[in-house]
């Protein structure tokens, strides 16, 4: 990559990409992109866009894609990856093992795990990241997550998540990690007013995200929905992740999870669920009609033996679907390119003879889920596609690597099928995020050292 820069930057020109994928239907050989003040003005053949700019980057030999969008994660769980007691457990047992460890999280743990996870995601191509944190012990706050992201040039959507249904009230988590109903709502309002930016091109947003039907009271679910709609922010929760949860909902609410959420006003185009593995045909149709989105988390669903989410039917029903790497303790990695590959491979299993039916997901469909699909799920029409009027958020992968040798017949499909794992460069709003595989402005070695120290301290 050759870069010619004349400061201060206001226009950026990308030239000579081996292929540039816009995600609105075009794959441009020898592609170029021209952006002004972080917004795309032209995407076309290099020879057909302006030849002069304040900064010029030659991406000969690179694949260029829109920045990837992560729609579900728990960054704090980077501190408890590969945790010995939780390696071979289903969701409920996995949670019961880890809750007491997470109850010791401090603001420092939240800040450093947030930063570490964001860096890991950025190196795999993520430029917009949603995180779902739902427990705030020992004085930790959503503000600590924003602080952890300080100086990172990426778009970060933080949840003010919550849990209010402790063990003594019939919930799954120990009482020590649940919060008071009114305190949750008061702090949610505070976090929105302190941090939420609703504008196009926003780099920090807030989402209202009670954890799940088995950790939150129905009353908190309902009040959270009202609060979010009043404030104009989006709603997110885990739903229908496992058979255990379906049984919990039938036993406690007399409904399956989707029907339970319908009674709580938790459907619509401002809502997205994580997982939705166990949904029947009628539920799929109802979610499609409501416009409710899905964060598909294939690695986590395999890791916890949760099941096969019906992604083919979701897409056929018009449901917005994005990808989520989901909790670093139920995936043990935060890698968006790997998640796109897992989505494709898990779909191939889901439609295998004797297991299911339907068309095979293509590599391009997997990339769609990771880009424009994720943007739709997060309610953003300013990212996910490389086109005039969209933000200049894009990634570049050097195709002259061992992993791609012999795959240049179709470098776009190779990005998913060959599993490169890491990107080489990325830009957010026309400014660099990753350069030569490293996140700009981050001392990775000292971050890893500090994170490992905090992880040891947490596990005790």
Footprint of Zn ion (CB under 5 A): 326-327
State the number of CA atoms in the 13 A half-sphere of 441 facing the CB.
Answer: 12
Q: What is the dihedral of CA 162, 168, 172, 178, to 10 degrees?
A: 20
Residue nearer to Zn ion on the CB measure, 346 or 418? 346
Burial 290-329 (b: 16+ CB within 10 A, else e): bbbbbbbbbbbbbbbebbbbbbbbbbebebbbbbbbbbbb
- How far apart are CB 212 and Zn ion at their closest, in Å? 8
> In this structure, what DSSP letter does residue 137 have?
-
Peptide bond into 84 cis (omega under 30): no
- How far apart are CB 347 and Zn ion at their closest, in Å? 20
The residue nearest Zn ion at its CB is 326
Residue nearer to Zn ion on the CB measure, 223 or 326? 326
- How far apart are CB 379 and Zn ion at their closest, in Å? 19
- How far apart are CB 43 and Zn ion at their closest, in Å? 34
- How far apart are CB 85 and Zn ion at their closest, in Å? 19
**Cα–Cα distance between 152 and 115 in angstroms, integer?**
9
Residue nearer to Zn ion on the CB measure, 283 or 326? 326
400 beta partners? none
Residue nearer to Zn ion on the CB measure, 5 or 87? 87
Residue nearer to Zn ion on the CB measure, 326 or 332? 326
- How far apart are CB 118 and Zn ion at their closest, in Å? 17
Which residues, at least 6 apart from 362, have a Cβ–Cβ distance to it below 8 Å?
344, 413
Burial 198-209 (b: 16+ CB within 10 A, else e): eeebbbebbbbb
The tokens of 95 are what?
A: 């949670």
Residue nearer to Zn ion on the CB measure, 205 or 275? 275
Cα distances from 272 to residues 46, 266, 302, 313, in angstroms, run 38, 9, 21, 16
Element (H, E) at 234: strand 234-239
- How far apart are CB 78 and Zn ion at their closest, in Å? 13
Helix residue spans in 165-280 (DSSP H): 181-195, 218-231, 243-253, 257-263
- How far apart are CB 241 and Zn ion at their closest, in Å? 8
- How far apart are CB 204 and Zn ion at their closest, in Å? 21
460 beta partners? none
Which residues, at least 6 apart from 69, have a Cβ–Cβ distance to it below 8 Å?
126, 127, 128, 129, 322, 323, 370, 371, 373, 374, 375, 377, 378, 380, 383, 384
């Amino acid at each position: 990559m050759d870069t010619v820069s004349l400061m201060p930057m206001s226009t950026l020109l990308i030239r000579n990409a081996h292929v540039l994928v816009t995600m609105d239907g075009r794959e441009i050989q020898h592609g170029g992109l021209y952006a002004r003040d972080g917004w795309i003005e032209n995407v076309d053949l290099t020879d057909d866009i302006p030849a002069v700019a304040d900064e010029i980057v030659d991406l000969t030999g690179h694949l260029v894609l829109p920045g990837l969008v992560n729609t579900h994660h728990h960054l704090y769980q980077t501190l408890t990856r590969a945790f010995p007691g939780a390696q071979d457990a289903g969701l409920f047992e996995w949670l019961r093992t880890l809750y007491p460890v997470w109850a010791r999280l401090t603001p420092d743990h939240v800040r450093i795990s947030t930063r570490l996870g964001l860096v890991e995601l950025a190196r795999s191509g993520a430029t917009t990241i949603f995180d779902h944190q739902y427990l705030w012990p020992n004085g930790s706050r959503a503000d600590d997550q924003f602080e952890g992201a300080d100086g990172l040039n990426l778009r970060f959507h933080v949840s003010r998540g919550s849990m209010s249904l402790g063990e003594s009230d019939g919930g799954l988590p120990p009482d020590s990690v649940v919060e008071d109903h009114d305190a949750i709502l008061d702090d949610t309002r505070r976090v929105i007013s302190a941090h939420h930016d609703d504008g196009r091109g926003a780099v920090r947003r807030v989402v209202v995200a009670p954890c799940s039907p088995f950790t939150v009271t129905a009353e908190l679910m309902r009040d959270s929905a009202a609060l979010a709609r009043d404030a104009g922010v989006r709603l997110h929760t885990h739903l229908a992740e496992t058979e255990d949860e379906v049984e919990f909902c039938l036993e406690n609410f007399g409904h399956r999870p989707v029907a339970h959420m319908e009674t709580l006003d938790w459907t619509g185009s401002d809502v997205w669920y994580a997982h939705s593995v166990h949904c029947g045909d009628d539920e799929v149709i109802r979610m499609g009609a409501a416009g409710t989105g899905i964060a598909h988390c294939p690695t986590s669903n395999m890791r916890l033996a949760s099941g096969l989410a019906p992604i083919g039917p979701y897409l056929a029903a018009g449901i917005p679907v994005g990808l989520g790497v989901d909790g670093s303790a139920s995936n043990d990695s935060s890698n968006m390119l790997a998640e796109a590959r897992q989505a494709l491979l898990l779909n191939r299993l889901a439609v295998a003879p004797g297991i299911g039916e339907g068309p095979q997901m293509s590599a391009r469909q997997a990339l769609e889920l990771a880009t424009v699909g994720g943007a739709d799920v997060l309610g953003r029409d300013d990212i996910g596609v490389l086109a005039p009027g969209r933000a200049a958020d894009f990634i570049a992968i050097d195709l002259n690597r061992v992993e791609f040798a012999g795959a240049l017949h179709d470098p776009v499909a190779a990005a998913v099928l060959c599993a490169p794992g890491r990107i080489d460069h990325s830009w957010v709003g026309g400014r660099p995020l990753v350069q030569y595989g490293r996140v700009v402005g981050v001392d990775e070695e000292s971050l890893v050292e500090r994170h490992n120290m905090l992880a040891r301290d947490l596990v005790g």
